[in-house]
């Protein structure tokens, strides 16, 4: 199955796939521990002292690749989000900002972990776990699901540049070489601004169209010696171009599904 086909199979039944992820033994064990113990983390030090809680929280906010950055996250939480010069606001990373808003010890004190806080964080963790499970079958599907969740929250291209997964999707969809990441950040930002309107991702139809473009290009790049995969991906991309009335976005996802089904003989 193509990346777009696999992605749509999950995206149209997210409740089911999240439930599957939540029941996985490792996910269930970590979630139960978090819910049972997070109320004890009434300060930054308490959260950081229990590395199991801290790691769960980091993974829930898409920061699993930065578990080592304890010192930085201490500063993020200590400075809060109220001041525009706070670290969370200047790093331009939407995941770090979301983490800082949730674990706002600077602004809320011990009240951070009150109410439905544990359920909210657990929901994020399960979402990340579900995406990772899909990624084990097809990394492109994980990227597409992650982009679907995170892209609407972007406020500038700098947010995409600060997130490796978001950037990979954008570079793939727009056929931008990963080597551009070695350029100065402002140079990269100008390049993306010339090719991309971040506000388009707040429109569900345009977001779907961009993901479809990414998926088709991803399959073409990773198809290798599988001619059928290349043919399918080309057909999807061709279908996208036929429906494209607003530049890089504006594809009707149903058209893509119809073209995929026709290729399979459905």
Q: Does residue 6 form part of some domain?
A: no
Average pLDDT, the chain: 86
Q: What angle do CA 195, 149, 94 make, to 5 degrees?
A: 70
Asked if the structure places residue 2 within a domain, the reply is no
Enter the pTM of the model: 0.81
Which residues fall within 8 angstroms of residue 266, CB to CB, at 6 or more apart?
A: none
Domain around 207: 139-264
pLDDT in tens, 119-149: 999 999 999 999 999 999 999 999 999 999 9
Taking phi first (over 0 means left), then psi (-120 to 50 degrees means alpha), and beta for anything else, what does residue 109 get?
Answer: left
- pLDDT computed for residue 232 by the predictor: 53
Q: What is the CATH number of the domain that holds 50?
A: 1.10.3700.10
Whether residue 245 sits in one domain with residue 216? yes
Nearest to 70 by CA among 46, 92, 48, 93: 48
Show the tokens assigned to 43.
């300060």
Tokens for 163, please give them: 């997130």
What does each C-alpha distance from 61 to 114, 157, 237 come to in angstroms? 18, 19, 32
Q: What is the pLDDT of residue 189?
A: 94
Weakest-pLDDT range from 108-122, 129-143, 167-181, 202-216: 108-122
Place of tokens 């200047």: 90
pLDDT in tens, 243-261: 443 433 334 454 454 444 4
Residue 28 resides in a domain = yes
């Amino acid at each position: 199955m193509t990346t777009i086909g696999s992605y749509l199979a999950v995206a149209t039944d997210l409740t089911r796939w999240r439930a599957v992820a939540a029941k996985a033994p490792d996910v269930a064990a970590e979630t139960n521990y978090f819910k049972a113990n997070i109320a004890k983390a009434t300060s930054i030090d308490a959260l950081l002292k229990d590395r199991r809680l801290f790691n769960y929280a980091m993974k829930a906010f898409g920061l699993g690749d930065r578990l080592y950055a304890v010192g930085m996250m201490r500063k993020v939480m200590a400075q809060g989000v109220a001041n525009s010069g706070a670290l969370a606001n200047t790093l331009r990373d939407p995941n770090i900002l979301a983490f800082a808003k949730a674990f706002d010890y600077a602004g809320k004190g011990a009240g951070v972990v009150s109410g439905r806080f544990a359920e909210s964080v657990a929901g994020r963790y399960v979402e990340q776990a579900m995406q990772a499970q899909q990624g084990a079958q097809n990394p492109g599907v994980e990227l597409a699901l992650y982009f679907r969740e995170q892209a609407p929250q972007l406020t500038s291209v700098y947010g995409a540049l600060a997130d490796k997964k978001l950037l990979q999707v954008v570079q793939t969809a727009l056929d931008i070489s990963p080597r551009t990441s070695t350029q100065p950040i402002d140079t990269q930002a100008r390049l993306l601004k010339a090719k991309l309107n971040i506000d388009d991702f707040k429109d569900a139809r345009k977001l779907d169209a961009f993901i479809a473009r990414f998926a088709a290009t991803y399959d073409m790049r990773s198809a290798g010696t599988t001619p059928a995969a290349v043919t399918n991906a080309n057909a999807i991309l061709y279908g996208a171009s036929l429906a494209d009335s607003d530049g890089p976005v504006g594809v009707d996802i149903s058209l893509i599904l119809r073209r995929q089904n026709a290729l399979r003989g459905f």
